[in-house]
Structure 1
Amino acid sequence: MPGGRALIRRLAIVALIALSCAVPAQAEPLARPGAVVDVVPLQRDRWLPGAADASLVKYWTTGPLGTPALSTGAIWIPPGTPPPGGWPVLSWGHEATGLGDDCAPTVNGDINFDYLQRWLAQGYAIVATDYVGLGTPGIHPYLDGRSEAHSVIDMVRAARAVEPSLSSRWAAFGQSQGGQAALVTASMATTYAPDLDFRGAVATGPPSNLENLAFLGGPGFPDVPVKGFNVYVTYILASMRAVHPELDIDSYLTPFGRTVLDEVETICIFEAADRLEGIGIGSLLSRQLDDPKLLAALRDWLAIPTRGYARPFFIGQGLLDPTVPAPLTFTLASELATNGQPMTFRTYPTGHNATTIASLPDATDFMRQLFAR
Structure 2
Amino acid sequence: MRVMGKSRIVLIAALVALGAVPHATANAQPAGQVVAVESLPAAATAPDSARAERLIYRSTTANDEPTTTSAAVYFPAGEAPEGGWPVIAWAHGTVGLGDECAYSIAGPAAVDRDWAYLGTWLNQGYAIVAADYAGLGGPGEHPYLNGVAEAHNVVDAVRAATAQYPSLSNKWVAVGQSQGAGAAVTTARYATEFGGPTLDYRGGVATGIPAYIEDAIQLLGPALPPVPLSSHLTAYVLYILSGLRTTYPTLDIDSFLTDTGRTWLTRAQSTCIGPLGEDLATTKPTLASFFTRPLADIPHLHTLLTGYMGLPESGYNRPLFLAQGLEDTDVITPQTLRYAATLKANAQPLTFHTYPTDHNGTVNASLTDSIPFVRSLFA
1:336 aligned counterpart, secondary structure: helix
Query: Counterpart of 1:95?
Result: 93
Once the 2 structures are TM-superposed, how far is the Cα of residue 44 of structure 1 from its aligned partner? 4.5
Is the Cα contact below 8 Å between 1:206 and 1:329 reproduced in 2? yes
Q: Which amino acid aligns with 1:364?
A: I
Once the 2 structures are TM-superposed, how far is the Cα of residue 81 of structure 1 from its aligned partner? 1.7
1:65 aligned counterpart, secondary structure: helix
- 1:158-191 per-position Cα deviation (integer Å, ceiling 9, x unaligned): 1112111001100000110001110000000001
TM-score (norm 1): 0.89
Query: Counterpart of 1:15?
Result: none
Partners of 1:285 and 1:23 in 2: CA distance: 47
Give ranges in structure 2 of 5+ residues lacking alignment.
1-19
Is the Cα contact below 8 Å between 1:226 and 1:322 reproduced in 2? no
Query: Counterpart of 1:206?
Result: 209
Query: Counterpart of 1:351?
Result: 358
- 1:107-147 per-position Cα deviation (integer Å, ceiling 9, x unaligned): 11325211101100000011101111111111111111111
Is the Cα contact below 8 Å between 1:52 and 1:77 reproduced in 2? yes
1:276 aligned counterpart, secondary structure: helix
Q: Which amino acid aligns with 2:323?
A: G
Q: Does 1:216 align with 2:223?
A: no
Partners of 1:350 and 1:24 in 2: CA distance: 52
Query: Counterpart of 1:232?
Result: 236
- 1:235-266 per-position Cα deviation (integer Å, ceiling 9, x unaligned): 11112213322001111111211111111110
- 1:36-70 per-position Cα deviation (integer Å, ceiling 9, x unaligned): 11002323453323422111110011111101111
Q: Greater CA deviation, 285-294 or 131-140?
A: 285-294
User: In structure 2, do the counterparts of structure 1 residues 252 and 366 end up closer, same or farther at CA, with 3 Å as the change threshold?
Assistant: same
Query: Counterpart of 2:82?
Result: 84
Partners of 1:24 and 1:164 in 2: CA distance: 29
Query: Counterpart of 1:281?
Result: 287
User: In structure 2, do the counterparts of structure 1 residues 49 and 259 end up closer, same or farther at CA, with 3 Å as the change threshold?
Assistant: closer
Q: Which amino acid aligns with 1:133?
A: G
Query: Counterpart of 1:55?
Result: 53
Identity of aligned residues (%): 45
Partners of 2:232 and 2:41 in 1: CA distance: 30
Instruction: Choose which of 33, 36, 45 in structure 1 pairs with 2:34.
Output: 36
Q: What does residue range 276-315 of structure 1 map to in structure 2 within 5 Å?
A: 276-277=280-281, 278-290=284-296, 291-315=298-322
Partners of 2:23 and 2:291 in 1: CA distance: 51
Q: What does residue range 160-199 of structure 1 map to in structure 2 within 5 Å?
A: 160-194=162-196, 195-199=198-202
- 1:197-225 per-position Cα deviation (integer Å, ceiling 9, x unaligned): 00000000011101122332110212476
Report the aligned-residue RMSD.
Answer: 2.1
Aligned pair count reads 351
Partners of 1:224 and 1:85 in 2: CA distance: 53
Q: Which amino acid aligns with 1:187?
A: R
Q: Does 1:271 align with 2:271?
A: no
Q: Greater CA deviation, 204-213 or 115-124?
A: 204-213
Partners of 1:274 and 1:226 in 2: CA distance: 11
- 1:302-343 per-position Cα deviation (integer Å, ceiling 9, x unaligned): 100001001111000000112113201011111111111101
Query: Counterpart of 2:13?
Result: none
Partners of 1:273 and 1:262 in 2: CA distance: 14
Is the Cα contact below 8 Å between 1:129 and 1:152 reproduced in 2? yes
TM-score (norm 2): 0.88
User: In structure 2, do the counterparts of structure 1 residues 46 and 215 end up closer, same or farther at CA, with 3 Å as the change threshold?
Assistant: closer
1:347 aligned counterpart, secondary structure: strand
Query: Counterpart of 1:67?
Result: 65
Q: Does 1:139 align with 2:146?
A: no
Partners of 2:107 and 2:155 in 1: CA distance: 22
Partners of 2:143 and 2:29 in 1: CA distance: 19
Once the 2 structures are TM-superposed, how far is the Cα of residue 22 of structure 1 from its aligned partner? 12
Give ranges in structure 1 of 5+ residues lacking alignment.
1-20
Q: What does residue range 245-260 of structure 1 map to in structure 2 within 5 Å?
A: 245-260=249-264
